[in-house]
Amino acid sequence: MLRIGFLFLAIFFFSCLIETEAQQFGGNPFSTRWKQINSDTARIIFPDGLDSLASSVADIVRGISRRDRLKLGNKWNKIDIILQNQPVTTNGYVSLGPFRSELYITPSADNFDPSSLSWPSQLTVHEYRHVQQFNNFNNGLSGVMKKLFGQEGYALAINAAVPNWFFEGDAVYNETLFAPHGRGTLPFF
């Protein structure tokens, strides 16, 4: 009986090893082929078939970093921006530990979405402002926390010191400045 149990356990583990030929990345199938565009400001990582969208995102990021009128500081660290086309959620975020941004490029199903700006463009402008915020809050106690505890300690320090309304309000204000139809220009918003 023990041998039969051991045999079933061995078959189970062997089948698991065969199924997972590669590491799964963000809920995407293993067969997804990833590409990247490297620039001085960002590395855009995207699935095969989104070449023109990735190029557009890279151009938006490069343009904002060159003509930013409301600099939070002079620190510029390159960011990895991952374009996700598998999730059905309409959103995006910037995260520390590791420092990256993920854009869920599926547009909203809301037919009454007030913006005429394309969803990936609006999302890029908004989320890149969060990148600039993270790049430039690295001073004082938050800088010490980053040196002592890495990116997670840095995240703790800035989330304790800077209120969420500033993060989001500043990013929406940035949309209003850099996007032709940012949310701040819309009466609905």
42 residue type, one letter: A
Task: Tell whether the model's pLDDT for residue 173 goes beyond 90.
Answer: no
34 band by pLDDT with thresholds 50, 70 and 90: very high
Please, are residues 128 and 107 in contact by the beta-carbon 8 Å criterion? no
Tell me the pTM. 0.78
Q: What is the pLDDT of residue 80?
A: 94
- % of residues, the chain, pLDDT over 70: 80
Please, are residues 96 and 155 in contact by the beta-carbon 8 Å criterion? yes
Provide CATH code, domain 19-185: 3.40.30
Which H or E run includes 102?
Answer: strand 100-104
Please, are residues 103 and 122 in contact by the beta-carbon 8 Å criterion? no
- % of residues, the chain, pLDDT over 90: 26
Contacts of 76 (CB under 8 A, 6+ apart): 41, 65, 135
Structure confidence by residue, pLDDT tens digits, 78-132: 899 999 988 777 888 998 888 899 999 887 777 666 566 778 888 888 899 999 8
| Rounded CA separation 133/187 (Å) | 27
Instruction: Output the CA torsion sign for 175, 180, 181, 187.
Output: positive
Question: What is the DSSP annotation of 35-57?
Answer: EEEE-SSEEEEEETT-HHHHHHH
Q: Report which listed range, 15-24, 46-55, 63-72, 176-185, is most confident.
A: 46-55
Contacts of 29 (CB under 8 A, 6+ apart): 86
